[in-house]
């Protein structure tokens, strides 16, 4: 019940945030839709790509695939939770369990392709020093710094580990019913964290779009 | 005037007080020992039975037991309250099934308003006829005593037969000579008031109330013009009476299982196993428990049926403790409350995802025969009169009960059910299907449907298209013009269409009647899932794709089957896709494990790299 309430609140807050941004002109649905369509165009016209270009394209493809699979998993699970509060069943269950392994594999590829780009470096520590008020860095560096997005990325990866493991353990005769209940809670709350991190990532994307 | 009012008020107060006063046998002093029941027998005239009196009447359980026990409260019990319209009906249970081989009829009956059952009067059975047919496995009360549901034309017959009172001995008699089969034989002879006495082992009853005329008088005896018909007579075993005219009853509080078994036995019709020793027993009984250890009741006899969500007795908080879940899955924080007395091992259910407990009853995996590719037929005591003298022992006798069938209940949980397909002649009025009585149908069918069952199999007689058309044509002559005669069978309604052929149609009245069963419970080692997920999640699993016979006498050459999934909310496609995924699920598991190991490795690697950057940064700062 608590989890259901949390999910409802989270969805309500997300919808309210989107509506507010649309109203204030920070988000334009048509522009976002066009951006998404543009992003998905990278799945076409592979021919003639250089190796570097191919990897850039491939990296983005994996990113889009991971996000799409995550959204499928979120929708199929939260729809049931919000609507009935009961366990997943029927088509929603089939879609959820079918998408889940591909999400795990796609996430693995995402971390392999994105980890280096999202690594923390010395500039990030400098920026963090400024945040805590210990040091001032040039404005241009501060503006360009994406330490929060990096943090978001790594938190997503870390949270994904219990989310996946809690299901894997359920598929083996290791835990008893109480253990299974614990694993289910771990899965629920770790995926809730994943959902919040994805929303935060969305907020960052919108901000980027507006800056551009 | 005032004095008279005070007088009547006093009388009323005393009688009201007397009614609330618990009777001697209902008030426990705390002793767990069963009191010795050395008591006088009392007949229905409330007179003590003495061996030197004539005529000797059968004892009345109501008066004999009612002297010390509150009969009015006991009457509320589940076994006796079927005709009480104010009683809670609970989930659908086993029906009485009226069977007539000659008219190809098997139709579920009950006085309870369960969906899919008919009242006996709807098929032309009077209450007296109903009790005569089914009294064999009724412990009395209900239709046997309820005067409000008796037909006027039977009033004199009821005077002859007497009431089929609640027979306390049906359950509480521990005497080895107690003979429920004799009770059944007596009810078939309309010897309702004699049935309890005849089965008690205290007396022998001969004669038949059925053969007595309506004006037969219990005290004056039979009319002299019919000497060949023996009136009912009771011959007590004089050695059982002591000098105070008292008789010893071996009354037991904990009912022996065999007393329950007379009405609650099931025979599995298995072609490969047909001897008793080849079948086991419920795991609880094999461990030494009794039926009444779980199916308990108080004085009101509102017995706990033991299913999840049972709302009665509503005031009893311990009723949940007497369900599978309540006993076996008791939470540690509730350890201080509830009923103790049994070890009730807590199941580990290692590796079984929680969704199974939301979608399946405990009995789905643990009860009944291990499900085969096709459901089997069973015979049950209440339906087939098992244990009754002279009952057909044929395994092909109708009604054909199919079991187990995994059906989704209203609460969304799949549970094993028994199922049978009603077959009966009816008329259709608009959208309503009204069954016709055997008295109307029998004379018409006997010349059309040939009874070729010379070997007494009790199986369906054959019905083909031309015979069906002939019967429907005959029925047309006896029903009103606006009504259309139909035959309900095998989940369809058959009628003669405008071109003179048989056409069929689905209708709720043709739906199978189903009821949940819970016994025999199999041990954990023989439960579904013991061998892995593919016990159920496979393309040939019985839980989803097991075949369920559609039983009908019509067109006997063609066998029809349904799948278990047809009785569940999931579609066949969903079940197939889900089951199919288990073929490659092991590979996906390995892939996902590899993926998560890789993610963990990269997280660790870059975690250390981040740390390295931090260390370098702090060093540079210094």
Alpha-carbon distances, residue A66 vs A113, A134, A186 (angstroms): 12, 38, 21
Question: In which band, very low, low, confident or very high, does the pLDDT at B181 lie, cut at 50, 70 and 90?
Answer: very high
Q: Is B612 on the interface with A (CB under 8 A)?
A: no
**Would the pLDDT of A52 be above 50?**
yes
**Would the pLDDT of B41 be above 50?**
yes
Report chain B's mean pLDDT, rounded to a whole number. 88
**Would the pLDDT of B341 be above 80?**
no
Q: Which of A91, A106, A82 is nearest to B574 (CA)?
A: A91
Q: Is A147 on the interface with B (CB under 8 A)?
A: no
Phi, psi of B439 (to 5 degrees): -60, -30
Question: In which band, very low, low, confident or very high, does the pLDDT at A89 lie, cut at 50, 70 and 90?
Answer: confident
Give the per-residue pLDDT at B14.
46
Alpha-carbon distances, residue A136 vs B47, B196, B622 (angstroms): 110, 101, 17
**DSSP label at B107?**
E
Q: Which of B96, B100, B124, B126 is nearest to B109 (CA)?
A: B96
**Would the pLDDT of B164 be above 90?**
yes
Q: How far apart are CA B403 and CA B94, in angstroms?
A: 13
CB-CB neighbors (< 8 A) of A126 in chain B: 617
Contact B412 A173 (CB under 8 A): no
Q: Contact at 8 Å (CB) between B542 and B371?
A: yes
Q: How far apart are CA A101 and CA B591, in angstroms?
A: 8
Size of interface A-B (CB pairs under 8 A): 121
Alpha-carbon distances, residue A116 vs A59, A120, A161, B371, B607 (angstroms): 12, 9, 19, 55, 11
Sign of CA dihedral B296, B297, B301, B306: negative
Q: What is the pLDDT of residues B10-32, one digit of tens each?
A: 554 444 444 567 888 888 888 88
Give the per-residue pLDDT at B550.
94
B596 closest CB neighbour out of A94, A120, A165: A165
Give the per-residue pLDDT at B421.
96
- Beta-bridge partner residues of B249: B37
Q: What is the pLDDT of residues A137-188, one digit of tens each?
A: 666 666 667 788 888 999 999 999 999 999 999 988 889 888 999 999 999 9
B599 closest CB neighbour out of A108, A118, A176: A108
CA triple B346-B347-B350, angle to 5 deg? 140
Q: Which of B169, B149, B159, B220 is nearest to B190 (CA)?
A: B159
Q: Contact at 8 Å (CB) between B138 and B163?
A: no
Q: Which residue ranges make up each domain of chain A? A: 2-211
SS3 label, residue B129 = helix
> How many angstroms separate the CA of residue A68 from the nearest CA in chain B?
18
CA triple B256-B259-B264, angle to 5 deg? 120
Range list of H helices, B79-179 = 127-134, 155-161, 169-172
How far does Cα B66 stand from its chain's mean position? 27
CB-CB neighbors (< 8 A) of B524 in chain A: none
ipTM field: 0.89
Which residue, chain included where needed, has tokens 């959208």? B431
Give the per-residue pLDDT at B1.
46
Give the per-residue pLDDT at B314.
59
Q: What is the pLDDT of residues A59-83, one digit of tens each?
A: 888 998 999 999 999 999 988 888 8
Fold classified for A2-211: Fumarate Reductase Cytochrome B subunit (1.20.950)
Q: What is the pLDDT of residues B444-484, one digit of tens each?
A: 888 888 777 778 888 898 888 899 999 999 998 888 878 89
Q: Contact at 8 Å (CB) between B494 and B486?
A: yes
Residues ≥6 apart with Cβ < 8 Å to B288: none
Q: Is B429 on the interface with A (CB under 8 A)?
A: no
Contact B606 A154 (CB under 8 A): yes
Record the tokens describing residue A172, joined without a space. 């083996």
Q: How far apart are CA A129 and CA B601, in angstroms?
A: 28
Full DSSP string of A160-187: HHHHHHHHHHHTTTTS-HHHHHHHHHHH
Q: What is the pLDDT of residues B132-155, one digit of tens each?
A: 999 999 999 999 999 999 999 999
CB-CB neighbors (< 8 A) of B359 in chain A: 87, 89
Straight-line distance from the first to the last Cα atom of chain A, in angstroms, rounded to the nearest whole number: 42
Other CB atoms within 10 Å distance of the CB of residue B515: 18
Question: In which band, very low, low, confident or very high, does the pLDDT at A107 lie, cut at 50, 70 and 90?
Answer: very high
Residues ≥6 apart with Cβ < 8 Å to B403: B266, B268, B368, B369, B375, B376, B377, B378, B416, B417, B418, B419, B517
CB-CB neighbors (< 8 A) of A157 in chain B: 599, 602-603
> How many angstroms separate the CA of residue A179 from the nearest CA in chain B?
9
Q: How far apart are CA A45 and CA B164, in angstroms?
A: 88
Question: Poorest-confidence range of A1-15, B86-100, B225-239, B303-317?
Answer: B303-317
Q: Contact at 8 Å (CB) between B554 and B487?
A: yes
Question: Between the ranges A106-110, B215-219, B306-310, B314-318, where is the mean pLDDT highest?
Answer: A106-110
Q: Contact at 8 Å (CB) between B297 and B303?
A: yes
Give the per-residue pLDDT at B12.
46
Q: Is B540 on the interface with A (CB under 8 A)?
A: no
- Find the residue in A nearest to B596 (Cα): A161
B599 closest CB neighbour out of A87, A161, A184: A161
Q: What is the pLDDT of residues B372-403, one digit of tens each?
A: 888 999 999 999 999 999 898 899 999 999 99
Record the tokens describing residue B383, joined without a space. 């339906």
CB-CB neighbors (< 8 A) of A116 in chain B: 606
CB-CB neighbors (< 8 A) of B603 in chain A: 111, 154, 157-158, 161
Give the per-residue pLDDT at B53.
85
Give the per-residue pLDDT at B304.
86
**DSSP label at B48?**
B
Q: What is the pLDDT of residues B495-531, one digit of tens each?
A: 998 898 999 999 999 999 999 999 999 988 999 988 8
Mean pLDDT score, B570-594: 90
Residues ≥6 apart with Cβ < 8 Å to B371: B404, B406, B416, B528, B542, B543, B546
Q: Contact at 8 Å (CB) between A15 and A93?
A: no
CB-CB neighbors (< 8 A) of B578 in chain A: 93-94, 97
Give the per-residue pLDDT at B16.
44
Mean pLDDT score, B407-435: 93
- Beta-bridge partner residues of B504: B494
State the pairing for strand pair B502-505/B513-516: unpaired
Contact B613 A97 (CB under 8 A): no
Mean pLDDT score, B584-595: 90
How far does Cα B338 stand from its chain's mean position? 27
Question: Between the ranges B114-118, B349-353, B607-611, where is the mean pLDDT highest?
Answer: B114-118
Residues ≥6 apart with Cβ < 8 Å to B295: B303, B304, B305, B306, B322
**DSSP label at B410?**
T
């Amino acid at each position: 019940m608590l989890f259901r309430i949390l999910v409802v609140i989270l969805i309500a807050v997300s919808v309210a945030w989107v509506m507010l941004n649309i109203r204030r002109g920070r988000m334009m649905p048509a522009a976002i839709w066009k951006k998404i369509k543009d992003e998905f165009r990278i799945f076409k016209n592979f021919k003639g790509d250089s190796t570097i270009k191919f990897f850039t394209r491939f990296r983005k493809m994996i990113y889009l695939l991971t996000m799409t699979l995550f959204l499928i998993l979120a929708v199929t699970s939260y729809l049931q939770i919000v609507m009935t509060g009961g366990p997943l069943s029927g088509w929603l269950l089939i879609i959820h369990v079918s998408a889940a392994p591909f999400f795990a594999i796609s996430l693995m590829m995402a971390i392999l392709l994105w980890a280096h780009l999202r690594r923390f470096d010395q500039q990030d520590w400098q920026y963090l020093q400024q945040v805590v008020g210990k040091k001032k860095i040039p404005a241009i560096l501060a503006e360009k710094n994406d330490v929060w997005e990096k943090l978001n990325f790594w938190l997503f990866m870390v949270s994904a580990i219990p989310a996946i493991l809690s299901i894997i353990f359920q598929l083996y005769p290791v835990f008893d019913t109480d253990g299974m209940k614990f694993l289910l809670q771990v899965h629920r709350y770790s995926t809730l964290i994943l959902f919040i991190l994805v929303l935060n990532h969305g907020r960052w994307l919108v901000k980027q779009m507006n800056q551009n | 005037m005032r004095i008279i009012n005070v007088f009547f008020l006093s009388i009323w107060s005393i009688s009201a007080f007397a009614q609330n006063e618990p009777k001697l046998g209902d008030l426990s002093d705390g002793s767990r020992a069963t009191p010795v029941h050395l008591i006088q027998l009392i007949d229905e005239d409330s007179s003590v039975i003495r061996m030197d009196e004539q005529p000797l009447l059968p004892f009345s359980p109501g008066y004999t037991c009612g002297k010390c026990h509150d009969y009015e409260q006991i009457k509320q019990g589940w076994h006796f309250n079927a005709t009480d319209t104010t009683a809670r009906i609970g989930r659908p249970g086993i029906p009485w099934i009226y069977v007539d081989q000659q008219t190809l009829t098997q139709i579920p009956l009950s006085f309870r308003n369960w969906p899919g059952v008919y009242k006996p009067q709807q098929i032309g059975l009077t209450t007296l006829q109903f009790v005569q047919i089914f009294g064999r496995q009724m412990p009395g009360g209900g239709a046997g005593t309820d005067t409000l549901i008796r037909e006027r034309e039977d009033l004199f017959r009821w005077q002859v037969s007497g009431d089929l009172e609640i027979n306390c001995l049906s359950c509480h008699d521990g005497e080895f000579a107690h003979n429920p089969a004799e009770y059944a034989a007596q009810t078939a002879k309309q010897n309702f008031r004699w049935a309890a006495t005849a089965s008690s082992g205290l007396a022998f009853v001969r004669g038949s109330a059925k053969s007595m005329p309506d004006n037969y008088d219990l005290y004056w005896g039979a009319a002299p013009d019919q000497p060949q018909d023996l009136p009912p007579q009771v011959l007590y075993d004089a050695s059982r009476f002591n000098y105070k005219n008292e008789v010893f009853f071996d009354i037991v509080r904990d009912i022996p299982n065999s007393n329950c078994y007379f009405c609650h036995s099931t025979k599995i019709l298995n072609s490969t196993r047909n001897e008793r020793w080849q079948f086991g027993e419920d795991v609880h009984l094999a461990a030494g428990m009794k039926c009444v250890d779980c199916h308990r009741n108080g004085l009101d006899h509102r017995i706990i049926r033991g299913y999840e969500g049972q709302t009665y007795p509503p005031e009893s908080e311990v009723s949940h403790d007497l369900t599978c879940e309540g006993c076996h899955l008791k939470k540690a924080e509730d350890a201080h409350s509830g009923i103790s007395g049994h070890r009730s091992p807590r199941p580990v259910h290692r590796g079984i995802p929680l969704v199974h407990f939301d979608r399946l009853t405990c009995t789905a995996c643990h009860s009944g025969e291990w499900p085969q590719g096709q459901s089997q037929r069973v015979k049950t005591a209440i339906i087939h009169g098992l244990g009754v003298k002279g009952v057909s022992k044929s395994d092909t006798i109708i009604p054909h009960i199919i079991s187990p069938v995994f059906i989704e209940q209203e609460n969304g949980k799949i549970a094993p059910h028994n199922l049978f397909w009603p077959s009966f002649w009816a008329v259709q009025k608009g959208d309503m299907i009204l069954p016709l009585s055997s008295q109307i149908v029998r004379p018409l069918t006997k010349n059309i449907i040939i009874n070729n069952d010379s070997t007494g199999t009790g199986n369906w007689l054959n019905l083909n298209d031309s015979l069906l058309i002939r019967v429907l044509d005959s029925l047309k002559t006896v029903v009103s013009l606006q009504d259309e005669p139909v035959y309900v069978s095998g989940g369809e309604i058959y009628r003669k269409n405008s071109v003179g052929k048989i056409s069929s149609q689905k209708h709720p009245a043709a739906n199978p009647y189903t009821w949940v069963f819970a016994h025999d419970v199999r041990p954990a080692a023989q439960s579904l899932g013991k061998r892995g997920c593919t016990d159920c999640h496979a393309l040939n699993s019985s839980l989803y794709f097991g075949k369920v016979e559609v039983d009908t006498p019509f067109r006997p050459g063609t066998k029809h089957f349904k799948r278990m999934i047809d009785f569940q909310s999931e579609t066949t496609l969903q079940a197939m896709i889900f089951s199919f995924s288990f073929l490659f699920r092991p590979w996906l598991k390995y892939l996902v494990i590899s993926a998560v190991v890789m993610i963990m490795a990269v997280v660790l690697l870059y975690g250390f790299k981040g740390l390295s950057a931090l260390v370098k940064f702090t060093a540079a700062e210094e």
